[in-house]
Structure 1
Amino acid sequence: MPINIPEQLPARHILEKENIFLMEDERAVTQDIRPLNILILNLMPEKEKTERQLLRLLSNSPLQVNVEFLHTSTYESKNISKSHLSQFYKTFHEIKDKRYDGMIITGAPIEQLDFEDVAYWEELKEIMDWTKTNVTSVLHICWGAQAALYHHYGINKHPLHEKLSGVFQHRMMHPTVKLVRGMDDVFLAPHSRYTGVSEEEIENHDQLTLLSSSKNAGPLMVISNDEKHVMITGHIEYESTTLAEEYERDVAKGLNVEIPTGYFPEDDPDQPPLNRWRSQAYLLFSNWLNYYVYQETPYEWGSESLWSI
């Protein structure tokens, strides 16, 4: 089934060329099933790339999905035009009286800052508290996962000796949990960050379950026992070339960074990387939408409308 996104969103043209099933508003309103309404708080600097990555993964399910984008009002992104934000994004003040079936909170390249030093931390805390009553399930990615672990469960991040960048092997620890149903016992996933979280703290927390971890990259998937929060510390949504683009950017800045681990064929940056995590990413997002959003969300959220159509 399709995703319903604004007709002028730049990601639409790229996704249509990939034969992703997209739907116009006129056709969407004729569907008999109620669509899922997903809110995406996009904290990444290159917002259009992140939009494309997430929309692609959300499209691969039998469910009709309406997507709405959110940006912070207490910090203005420098890498996206104001016209793009005003046309396709809303602020928390504009949507706080609505309820959503699911929400995604993305990562942000600010993990070396203490949470309290982040310009929009107070706003993000307000949004995360709001999700407890207004969102059925929240998927947190990378720094967004670290923020959720810290805010909701008191687990802080810690600095790494060097940037963790590459594609790492992970082991599945609880293969019967619905989120990872059908995923391989051992699988690959990308990471790109300067901080990590403690596997021991997660395993010892009585409200959390560690679903998968890596000997070299640490915890990857964590779920709260009430199934309200899913935390993905890596970037399983990344496209094939995203780590290469980040590596080239860091080198151009003069940063002392290593070649992403296990990413380029023969560790040669001149060779195009192969995507070896795509199927796991599609399955993870499909499982989240089905088991934690669609199967759990009420058909009607009281008397309030979720979506204005």
Structure 2
Amino acid sequence: MPINIPRDLPAKEILEKERIFIMDDVRAVNQEIRPLNIVILNLMPEKEKAETQLLRLLGNSPLQVHITLLYTASHKAKTTSKNHLDQFYKTFEQIKERKYDGMIITGAPVEHIPFEEVNYWKELQEIMDWCKTNVTSTLHICWGAQAGLYHHFGIDKRPLSDKCTGVFTHVVSSEEPIKLLRGFDDVFYSPHSRHTDVDMNEVKNHPDLELLSYSEEAGVYMAMSKDEKFVFVTGHPEYDVQTLQEEFLRDTEKGLEPKLPEHYFPNNDPDKNPLKTWRSHANLLFMNWLNYYVYQETPYLWE
């Protein structure tokens, strides 16, 4: 089944060329199907890129998914046009009376800033509190995962001496069968791109959290609240194959002398095109989340 997105959203044309099954909102109203309502809080600066990456994964499911795009009103976007936001996005004030089956909170390039000093932190806190009663399951990605762990469970981020960037090997840490991990290989890959991390022991020892997956090099990868309402992914499984390359070239052009992403370029040669080794993991992760933690758990009619 398709994802349901606005007819004129720029991502629509890209996804159609990739044969991702999508349906615009005009056609969707004619189907007598109760779609899953997913809201994406997009904190990424290049919102159109992030939209496409996430919609690609949400579209790889037998479920019909209706998407609402959300941005923080307390932060002025610098790299996304006001017209795009006005046409395709809503603010929290516009949706806070609604119920949603699932929510995704993306990463954001504000890792060097203490949470309380981020200019939209209070608004984000209000949204994360709202998720407890208005959303069946919330998936947090990268900085969004760190923000969620801090807000809900008091686990703060810590600075890294060097940026964690590259494609790393991960293993499953839970000995119990976990629905989110169903079908995972013993070893799988995912990109990371961050300057901070969280302490693995704090996650493992927290009574309300379960560590699901980690990397010997990149640390905590996936964790989940014991009540299964909150999922935290510290990497970027949604990234396109060229995203880390674009970040590296961007920072190089700025004269920042960035660290070469690890295990990414063939033979560590930035002149060679990288291979995407995490596609199957990313698709399975999002499919499992949609199926087991959203579709199987959400009420048909919210009260």
Q: Which residue of 1 aligns with 2:193?
A: 192
Q: CA deviation at 1:173?
A: 1.3
**TM-score, normalised by the number of residues in structure 2:** 0.98
* Matched ranges for 1:172-183 at <5 A: 172-174=172-174, 176-183=177-184
Q: Which residue of 1 aligns with 2:43?
A: 43
Does structure 1 residue 120 correspond to structure 2 residue 116? no
Q: CA deviation at 1:86?
A: 0.1
* Matched ranges for 1:91-240 at <5 A: 91-174=91-174, 176-240=177-241
Q: Which residue of 2 aligns with 1:14?
A: 14
Q: CA deviation at 1:155?
A: 0.2
Residue deviations 1:258-284, cap 9 Å, x none? 210000011111111100000000000
* Paired residue total: 302
d(CA) in 2 for partners of 1:25, 1:230: 28
Determine if contact 2:7/2:26 at 8 Å carries over to the other structure. no
5+ residue gaps, structure 2, are none
Q: CA RMSD in A?
A: 0.8
Residue deviations 1:201-225, cap 9 Å, x none? 0000011111100111000000111
Q: Which residue of 2 aligns with 1:268?
A: 269
Q: Which residue of 2 aligns with 1:60?
A: 60
d(CA) in 2 for partners of 1:65, 1:202: 31
Tell me, what secondary structure is at the counterpart of 1:281? helix
Q: CA deviation at 1:124?
A: 0.2
Q: CA deviation at 1:256?
A: 2.6
Residue deviations 1:101-126, cap 9 Å, x none? 00000000001110001000000000
Tell me, what secondary structure is at the counterpart of 2:149? helix
Tell me, what secondary structure is at the counterpart of 1:139? strand
Q: Which residue of 2 aligns with 1:305?
A: none
Determine if contact 2:98/2:134 at 8 Å carries over to the other structure. yes
d(CA) in 2 for partners of 1:33, 1:284: 24
More displaced stretch, 293-302 vs 24-33: 24-33
Q: CA deviation at 1:248?
A: 0.4
Q: Which residue of 1 aligns with 2:280?
A: 279
Amino acid at match of 1:45: P
Q: CA deviation at 1:33?
A: 2.9
Q: CA deviation at 1:174?
A: 2.2
Tell me, what secondary structure is at the counterpart of 1:111? coil
Tell me, what secondary structure is at the counterpart of 2:6? coil
Tell me, what secondary structure is at the counterpart of 1:20? coil
Q: Which residue of 1 aligns with 2:299?
A: 298
Q: Which residue of 1 aligns with 2:290?
A: 289
d(CA) in 1 for partners of 2:240, 2:173: 26
Residue deviations 1:126-149, cap 9 Å, x none? 000001000000000000000000
d(CA) in 2 for partners of 1:241, 1:180: 26
Does structure 1 residue 246 correspond to structure 2 residue 247? yes
d(CA) in 1 for partners of 2:91, 2:282: 28
Q: CA deviation at 1:28?
A: 1.7
5+ residue gaps, structure 1, are 303-309
Q: CA deviation at 1:257?
A: 1.6
Give the percent of matched residue pairs that are identical in Structure 1 and Structure 2. Answer: 64
d(CA) in 1 for partners of 2:216, 2:25: 46
Amino acid at match of 2:151: H
